[in-house]
Copies of this chain bind each other. A is one copy, B any other.
Amino acid sequence: MAGSDRPTSRDVARAAGVSQATVSLVLGGKWRGRVSERTAGTVRSVAGELGYRPNAAARSLRLGRTRTALLVVPALTHEYFARVYAGAARVADAHGFGVVLYPSPEGIGPARDPFGPARAAIDGVIASSMAADALAGIADGGLPLVMLDSGPGAQDGPPTVDLAVADGIRQVVRHLVALGHRRITHLAADVDTWTFKVRARTVGEELARVAGARPATERCGLDVASARDAAVRALTAPGPRPTALLCDGDVLAAGACKGARSLGLRVPEDVSVSGFDDLELATALDPELTTVRLPAEEVGARGMAALLALLDGAPVPPVELPVELVARGSTSAAP
């Protein structure tokens, strides 16, 4: 069990012939005018040679802060959240913070105990895309909290970082309408989170403005198979067949393409399909998906920045990040 006895600041102090306090000051970077340049140099080189690393537990205990944030996500297996994490971690790292991931079970239901699983003590929580009722368990701890992709909160609620989801949907609808589509079915994710509720509402609102539009909705789970089934239902429903399937995510769009093809329909000649998220999947498919690009890293980065500001007691205005339609091969003029 090598390495179990790492050098302590006292070891460094002894080796350098100074006191522990001096070591702490020098290594803490707050010695300007309190320790001589020469002594500081000695301390630093001795610490380096000994391979000294401050003990995080002791420091946390003393400071009362851990310099660690907890990022709560509904599912780790999704590329979007991986990118959110990457963005958060980048900003955190730049500020000497760490980020610990906590995949909330099922993404739904109150997170049982944000502190059991993530053993490390936490300075604050960043919750991403959580279901409405999942918040209780988190805000509970009285910890500083930032909400990502969860809609504008109350005026005095936690800071928020949101995506312009409604605008994204609007861009998709207008894209489809401009291509001549009127019979558009929304493949809606059957998930009770802000982002999906906004998508559903916006599709309805936007289509209501279009003369001759025939909106419809088909609900489905978040996986390929479920979306394929929903697409088949949508395309075989009584009445004129929809010419476009507007899907709540790229994964759903992939399923929709499969469903259409299983009926002998071609994408996009017979039916156009649009996605949302712009995952790698969007360009892995053939044809590539028309979709909406989400600045996932930026969401994570701004979320972490908001948490840092919150910890500093600084005011944190809500953020809304723009999204962008990416037109590719899966949509074309209505037949």
Contact = CB atoms under 8 A, between A and B. Distances in A.
A236 to B, nearest CB: 18
Nearest to A259: B286
Interface in A48-99: 53, 55-58, 60-61, 64, 66-68, 76-79, 82-83, 85-86, 89, 93, 96-98
A152 interface: no
A81 to B, nearest CB: 9
Interface stretch (A111-119, A163-171, A195-203, A207-215): A111-119
Contact of A284 (B79, B83, B121, B285): B285
A280 B223 contact: yes
Contact of A280 (B76, B103, B143, B251): B251
Contacts of A121: 55-57, 120
B101 A101 contact: yes
A212 B142 CA distance: 70
A1 to B, nearest CB: 7
B77 A77 contact: no
A237 interface: no
A257 interface: yes
Contact of A82 (B60, B61, B77): B77
A76 B85 contact: yes
A100 B68 CA distance: 11
Q: Which of A61, A119, A120 lies at the interface centre, i.e. has the most chain B CB atoms within 10 A of its CB?
A: A119
Interface residues of A, number: 59
B76 A144 contact: no
A77 B68 contact: no
A98 B103 CA distance: 12
A105 to B, nearest CB: 10
B117 A89 contact: yes
Interface in A252-287: 254-255, 257-258, 261, 280-281, 283-286
A157 interface: no
23 contacts: A4-B64, A55-B61, A55-B121, A56-B60, A56-B121, A57-B61, A57-B121, A60-B60, A61-B61, A67-B119, A76-B86, A77-B82, A89-B117, A98-B100, A98-B118, A98-B119, A100-B120, A101-B101, A223-B280, A224-B284, A254-B284, A281-B284, A286-B286
Interface of A: 1-4, 6, 53, 55-58, 60-61, 64, 66-68, 76-79, 82-83, 85-86, 89, 93, 96-98, 100-101, 103, 115-121, 141-144, 223-225, 251, 254-255, 257-258, 261, 280-281, 283-286, 313
In the A-B complex, the 5 residue pairs with the closest CB atoms: A3-B142, A120-B120, A98-B119, A57-B60, A254-B284
